Amino acid sequence: MREWTADDTLKMLYHIKAPIVLLDVSHKWTEPSVREICVGADEILFIVDPLLPIRFFRKETKRNTDVIFEIRNMNKSANIIANRDVKVPNRNEWLKSLPLTPLSVIPEFPYHEVIKSIWSNTFITDNEDIRNELIYSLYGVINLLVPKDFPIKRLKKQHRGGLISKFFGG
């Protein structure tokens, strides 16, 4: 079996007929095929969490975050989303350790709600309180991706079949 290449991914992305395509590259930002795709992307969102705070001092992480700055130096958009934010004493230290100020900060949702959602084959955003909190916390990302003339306040009013379902699978 041959190795997957950037050309394979670009062909796949070309055939996807959707306004937004998310590609999770995990920690492989510096691999040539992934790097090429990132350089060609309209928007890069680097999602980080506080589980391993020392990670931002590792050489591998430095190389990965260098990709973000390289992309930004090309006048392209690249931002950070802080994920699984918890109110702990070192929270501000974690947020300040990030290479960029986060565009959005997503809270840690109760683990029991996540598990309940998985086992009931529903979306966690079916829970209205969680959906509203997620919309609020993702305002920076939504404001970046949604057309400027779209009334963002409508997001809270829409349910199944609307824009909210496109963002959060509801």
- Quick one: pLDDT at residue 157? 45
For residue range 23-55, list pLDDT tens digits in order.
888 777 777 777 777 777 888 888 888 876 555
- Quick one: pLDDT at residue 146? 81
For the chain, give the mean pLDDT. Answer: 80
Written in H, E and C, the secondary structure of 32-64 is HHHHHHHHHCCEEEEEECCCCHHHHHCHHHHHH
- At 118, list the tokens: 């998985």
In this model, does residue 156 exceed pLDDT 60? Answer: no
- Quick one: pLDDT at residue 120? 95
Strand order in the sheet with 104-107: 43-48, 77-85, 104-107
For residue range 94-132, list pLDDT tens digits in order.
888 888 899 999 999 999 999 999 999 999 999 999 999
In this model, does residue 64 exceed pLDDT 70? Answer: yes
For residue range 130-151, list pLDDT tens digits in order.
999 998 999 999 888 887 787 7
Contact 87, 52 (CB under 8 A): no
pTM across the whole model: 0.75
- Quick one: pLDDT at residue 153? 63
- Quick one: pLDDT at residue 111? 92
* CA torsion, ordered 150, 151, 157, 163, to nearest 10 deg: 10
Interior angle at CA 56, CA 65 and CA 111, nearest 5? 105
Main-chain dihedrals φ then ψ at residue 118, nearest 5 degrees:
-60, -50
- Quick one: pLDDT at residue 57? 58
In this model, does residue 152 exceed pLDDT 70? Answer: no
Three-class DSSP category at 74? coil
